[in-house]
Chain A
Amino acid sequence: MEYVIGVLLLLTFFGLAYYCIKGYNLMIGFLVITIIWTVLPMLGSLVVGSAFLEANPILNFGPDNTLVNALNSIYQSAPEGWGTTLVNVCWGAWFGRVLMETGIASTIIRKTVELGGDRPIVTMALLNIVTAVIFTAMTGAGPVIAIGVIVLPIMMSLGIPKAIAMFSFMESVAAGIYLNPVNFAQYRAFFIATDEMPDFTLGWYAAKWGYAALAIALVVTTIMAGVFLSRSKTSHAWAAQTAGAQQAKDAPMYTLILPIVPVVLNIAFNFSVIGGFVIAGFAALFLCGKMKGGFKASCQLVNKLYYDGVVDTAPLVGFLLTLPMFNKVASYASPYFNAVLGPIMPKTELVVCIVFAVLAGLGLFRGPMTLVGCGAATLGVLSNVASFSVPFLYAVFAIPTITVNIGSCITQSWVAWGLAYTKVESKDYLKLSIPTLYIISVLLYVLTMFTMTGLDQVWYA
């Protein structure tokens, strides 16, 4: 009977993938699938054989494992547990707004462009580096859009075709996210509770894998953009850019270091992420003269920036707080998946890397490889059919989540914005992003094989 339930769960999994690909609301999709995956395994526990229940005590309900406790753990404890991750997201979004308000982000972009001049490839490469560095700290759709309205017109005014400009920018944003402490905390929560495995810090991860991942993603993006650019025809557009993007005055030179302060503090001293955002954020506001209006006006400014930042992340919050329910319920569905898929799921680190590299494209359209899609279910299945270390699994899933979904997929909110802003067709964007995502993914899985496999038992959950 467990096979029947397993197949039914599998069908709902494909249904969810289809739902995500169609671009419907992710929060509702995950809420519905959570309910289905609650009902099916729990009803299934009434009809499966006793041997199956004995092998999977999680489904063996009784006085020590009550149904109410199980439901509470799915619908209450799981989203509550993500509250700690969510506050990082909110403070990261505030910091992003501060960098925009103070003009620090736009100043960095302008100085970079003035160094590269009217040479598309050089300027594009410099902008890619700067964009990646900025997005090691900035978070959310608002900052991506705010930087995008500066960077994209600059690239297009240099004659870089709009599809290549957009591709280059979005992939560079994704490259930066490999070292972003907010994203790190967010994805880490998929694998272990916040207080588990304290040694798995951003600093450890960065030294072992993160720096190299960022560098590989950035270099491949830049090389690919250069190749696409050398093949493309020169273009010139007559376009009117309305005021807004160009008007800010320069931030002082010494403040341009502030965007990386939270990341550096976190990596170097394991200093609190939020503490880093607060220190660097207020330093930026003071040093750029944004707090000159006195106490009341300064309070209003800080409050407004927080409000704007939280609004930037608002579309993500509902999804983020539904996802942990799904992650939790996946543990109840996993025994059934194990029964059906266990024999064919990869069980060694080498095979996992090969399979994920080959199937990297399935991270597109919120597919079964991305953690911000239905990859959470894949993670549930994979981690139940064999034992893998947490850092290994983190790297395995971070690649399709960051490079494939966030950088290359048109379902990513800011990519969708970029398509509308630059008037690039989805297919033209995907033509550039898909080959690139495969090259980056393959290289990063090779990196994962070299740096994240064969870890000690302490790295196992």
Chain B
Amino acid sequence: MSFKEKVKPYLEPIADGLFGKQRGMRGPQLAPVAPRPIGLMMEDLLRLDDEAWGTYAFSRDVLNRKFTPEKRAELTHRAMECGREYAQKMAGQYGTSNPTELAKKMGMQVEYPEMPKSAARVLFAEFKAPNHIYLYMDAVRKARTTMIEPGVKAVLTDKLDIGQLLLAHELFHYVEETYKKEIFTRTEKVELWAPKPLHNRSTIGCLGEIAAMEFARTLTDIPYSPYLMDVFLVYGYSKDAAVRLYEEIMGLAGLRPSNPENYSPAT
């Protein structure tokens, strides 16, 4: 590579800055979004496959850029298998797949606090070791209101009990803590940068979340990914934020959002 070619990428931004073509005024930081019915968004998201949800889960992980799309897909499937396996194992061990009963038999302390409102980061539920689960009722209450929007019930079905789903998800984190020496979500690691000959190996945080979602899906027997709840629950706080999240997820999946004008809610 010649010196000119080497220097070009460094000089281009400066040259473009000084002599670049005229462009219009920059828009606001968050582009405005067209309103979308929640029923339509749920219908679209229902069609996403496991890999698409895996891509979304990884997009929230600090180590996302360390993986190729193929590796992400592989890890997603293995984490989901792990979630399913432990759901069946726990259901068998405790003789129930009902999350409330499971929580009781596992000795969990479940609390139902309210939560301050915010659309920037909506907190649904939390697990704190060794055995505390907090289900934030503000989100649950808002979800009940969203549930009666046109077309939502037809997509999410009568099987959805938000409280049970959130509880089941958090139960997995308890299971993960209990089996941390052997469970896939804790034993799978990625090599990060370190000066040779040192090693810098780290677990992958989103695997636990993917597995927890599958664990919850298996226990509650809902026919879709619990990740749908991210958009569904955010909708109760901010419709714009929910639309942005939906558009982002569709974009990550390589799909175009549906046209709301053609939407007729299923009954």
Contact = CB atoms under 8 A, between A and B. Distances in A.
Interface of A: 110, 113-119, 123, 149, 153-154, 157-159, 161, 233-244, 246, 254, 285-298, 300-301, 304, 420-423
B193 interface: yes
A233 to B, nearest CB: 4
Contacts of A287: 10, 13-14
B34 interface: no
Given A117-B190, A158-B205, A243 B244 contact: yes
A411 B218 CA distance: 47
Given A114-B66, A243-B245, A297-B24, 7 more contacts: A233-B130, A237-B124, A242-B122, A288-B13, A289-B16, A292-B13, A423-B115
A118 B203 contact: yes
Interface in B203-221: 203-205, 208-209, 212
A129 to B, nearest CB: 16
A114 B205 CA distance: 12
Contacts of A119: 202-203
B80 interface: no
Nearest to B172: A236
16 contacts: A118-B203, A233-B128, A237-B123, A237-B125, A238-B209, A286-B13, A290-B17, A291-B18, A293-B20, A294-B21, A298-B17, A301-B26, A304-B26, A420-B116, A422-B121, A423-B115
Nearest to B227: A240
B208 A153 contact: no
Given A115-B193, A298-B17, A421 B128 contact: no
Contacts of B126: 235-238
Contact of B62 (A117, A241, A300, A423): A117
Contact of B118 (A118, A244, A423): A423
Given A117-B192, A157-B62, A285 B17 contact: yes
Contacts of B166: 238
Given A234-B177, A244-B30, A285-B17, A297 B60 contact: no
B152 interface: no
A27 to B, nearest CB: 28
Interface in B5-43: 10, 12-14, 16-26, 29-30
A235 B13 contact: no
Contact of B121 (A118, A292, A304, A421): A421
B124 A118 contact: no
A49 to B, nearest CB: 58
Contacts of A289: 12-13, 16-17
B124 A293 contact: no
B121 A234 contact: no
Interface string B227-244: 000110110001001001
Interface of B: 10, 12-14, 16-26, 29-30, 59-63, 65-66, 115-116, 118-130, 132, 166, 169-170, 173, 177, 190, 192-193, 200-205, 208-209, 212, 230-231, 233-234, 238, 241, 244-245, 248
A101 B120 CA distance: 19
B205 A421 contact: no
Contact of A292 (B20, B62, B173): B20
Nearest to A109: B62
Contacts of A296: 22
Given A114-B62, A157-B205, A285-B17, A238 B24 contact: no
Contacts of A157: 60-62, 205
B234 A242 contact: yes
A233 B61 contact: no
A239 B208 CA distance: 14
Contacts of A235: 126-129
A236 B22 CA distance: 48
Nearest to B193: A115
A242 to B, nearest CB: 4
A237 B177 CA distance: 14
Contacts of A288: 13
Contact of B22 (A154, A242, A293, A304): A293
A297 B30 contact: no
A423 B130 contact: no
A149 B115 contact: no
Contacts of B24: 297
A236 B172 CA distance: 10
Contacts of A161: 128
Nearest to A285: B17
A297 B22 contact: yes
B125 A238 contact: yes
A236 B170 contact: yes
B74 to A, nearest CB: 18
Nearest to A236: B173
B62 A421 contact: no
B192 A115 contact: yes
Contacts of A291: 13, 16-18, 20
A298 B23 CA distance: 9
B228 to A, nearest CB: 11
A114 B65 contact: yes
B13 A293 contact: no
B63 A300 contact: no
A291 B168 CA distance: 50
B123 to A, nearest CB: 5
Contacts of A421: 118, 120-121
B25 to A, nearest CB: 6
A238 B202 contact: no
A93 B119 CA distance: 26
Among B17, B26, B190, chain A packs the most CB atoms within 10 A around the CB of B17
A133 to B, nearest CB: 19
A117 B202 contact: yes
Contacts of B177: 234
Contact of A242 (B21, B119, B128, B209): B119
Given A115-B193, A240-B234, A246 B59 contact: yes
Contacts of A110: 62, 65
